């Protein structure tokens, strides 16, 4: 190649390199790709926050179950105490007391281990939650006005995850509630049979006492945790969110006359947040005592 052609190529390559440096410079305005990346990062941060919240709720529920196991084991001493008080033959009671003592120690150790494990996980999850909040704040700062519609569509997609979470929670609470209800029905029939048979066989009266205690315990736990009501509320929230989700995506029902895409998605976000707020209020009402619920209902 002739030498003068090399001399002309060097300035051209230098100009090209300067142009690349200008494109990489932070002083240039954000491009569509940059706005899209910020919107994606914001959606990812919100998804991580949602997952983090679900994990925290799961660990909190695990703590409740651990406490329930411990309380159920300690409550078993009530009928055994009655047996120790009124039973005239102490020989079988030695085995009952020994087995229950072993169960109590085991349940106490297991519950303490589970509760401490759940507390450690909850503490780690809250640390991760603060990091996700920082990531969300950073993505929001980098977000431009042109990416509003992307954020709204990302929120629309996140609602599908909320629907699945509500449905999964409703199914779980419904299964547990059905199990408790089935046990209460079967145990109640067993108590009636034991009480009837105890007229002929005196030893069965203590079996009837224990069965009655189990029925009362299961009824109390079912009434305290309110599995059926929680399942119904979560299923209701999932159905309402799915209705709004499909309506906004297809521009039907309440969104039929909204031609502007941003306005339609904003209305969808407002209605979705209202449904979530109502679900949280229903959950808080279930945590309150009947007296508190009646007084708050009168004020409303």
Q: Per-residue pLDDT tens for 242-280?
A: 999 999 988 888 898 877 888 899 999 999 999 999 999
Query: How far apart are alpha carbons 181 and 225 in whole angstroms?
Result: 13
**The predicted structure's pLDDT at residue 2:** 47
Q: Is the pLDDT of residue 141 over 80?
A: no
- For the four alpha carbons of 183, 186, 190 and 191, in that order, the dihedral sign comes to positive
Using the predicted structure, report yes or no on whether residue 297 has a pLDDT greater than 70. no
Among 153-157, 229-233, 237-241, whose mean pLDDT is lowest? 153-157
- The Cα-based distances of 150 to 36, 41, 170, 218, 287 in angstroms read 8, 11, 31, 49, 37
At 230 the pLDDT is 93
φ, ψ at 264 (rounded to 5°): -65, -45
What pLDDT is stored for residue 17 in this prediction?
A: 53
Lowest mean pLDDT among 62-71, 174-183, 236-245: 62-71
pLDDT in tens, 180-197: 999 999 989 988 888 888
Query: For the whole model, what pTM was predicted?
Result: 0.63
- Tell me what the mean pLDDT of segment 149-153 comes to: 80
3-state DSSP of 196-263: HHCCCCCCHHHHHHHHHHHHHHHHHHHHHHCHHHHHHHHHHHHHHHHHHHHHHHHCCHHHCCCCCHHH
> CB burial class (10 A; 0-12, 13-18, 19+) of residue 207?
middle
Closest C-alpha among 136, 142, 132, 133 to residue 36: 142
Q: Are 228 and 174 in contact (CB under 8 A)?
A: yes
Between the alpha carbon of residue 164 and those of residues 17, 41, 200, the distances in Å are 50, 22, 55
Cα distance between residue 282 and residue 93, in whole Å: 46
How remote is the C-alpha of 167 from its chain's centroid? 11
pLDDT at 16: 42
CB proximity list for 153: less than 8 A, separation 6 or greater:
265
Of 139, 140, 119, the C-alpha closest to 67 is 119
Mean pLDDT, rounded, of the chain:
79
pLDDT level of residue 236 (50, 70, 90 thresholds): very high
Higher local confidence (pLDDT), 93 or 167 = 167
Rounded CA-CA distance 84/100 in Å is: 13
How many H helices and E strands in the chain?
9, 0
What would the pLDDT profile of 9-57 be if each residue is shown by its tens digit? 454 455 445 434 544 444 444 444 455 677 778 778 888 888 888 888 8
């Amino acid at each position: 190649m002739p030498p003068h052609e090399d001399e002309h190529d060097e300035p051209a390559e230098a100009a090209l390199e300067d142009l690349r440096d200008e494109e990489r410079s932070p002083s240039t305005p954000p491009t569509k790709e940059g706005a899209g990346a910020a919107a994606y990062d914001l959606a990812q941060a919100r998804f991580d926050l949602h997952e983090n919240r679900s994990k925290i709720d799961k660990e909190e529920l695990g703590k409740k179950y651990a406490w329930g196991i411990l309380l159920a084991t300690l409550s078993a001493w009530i009928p055994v105490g009655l047996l120790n008080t009124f039973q005239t033959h102490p020989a079988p009671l030695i085995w009952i007391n020994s087995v229950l003592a072993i169960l109590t120690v085991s349940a106490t150790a297991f519950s303490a281990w589970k509760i401490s494990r759940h507390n450690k996980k909850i503490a780690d999850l809250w640390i991760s939650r603060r990091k996700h909040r920082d990531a969300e704040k950073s993505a929001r700062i980098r977000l431009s006005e042109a990416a509003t519609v992307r954020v709204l569509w990302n929120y629309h997609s996140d609602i599908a995850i909320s629907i699945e979470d509500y449905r999964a929670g409703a199914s779980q609470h419904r299964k547990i509630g059905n199990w408790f209800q089935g046990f209460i029905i079967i145990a109640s029939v067993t108590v009636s049979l034991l009480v009837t048979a105890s007229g002929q066989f005196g030893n069965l009266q203590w079996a009837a006492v224990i069965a009655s205690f189990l029925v009362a315990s299961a009824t109390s736990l079912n009434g305290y945790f309110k599995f059926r009501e929680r399942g119904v509320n979560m299923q209701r929230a999932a159905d309402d969110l799915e209705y709004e989700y499909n309506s906004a995506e297809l521009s039907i029902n309440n969104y039929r006359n909204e031609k502007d895409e941003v306005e339609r998605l904003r209305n969808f976000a407002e209605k979705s947040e209202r449904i979530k707020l109502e679900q949280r209020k229903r959950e808080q009402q279930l945590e309150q005592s009947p007296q508190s619920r009646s007084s708050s209902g009168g004020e409303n």
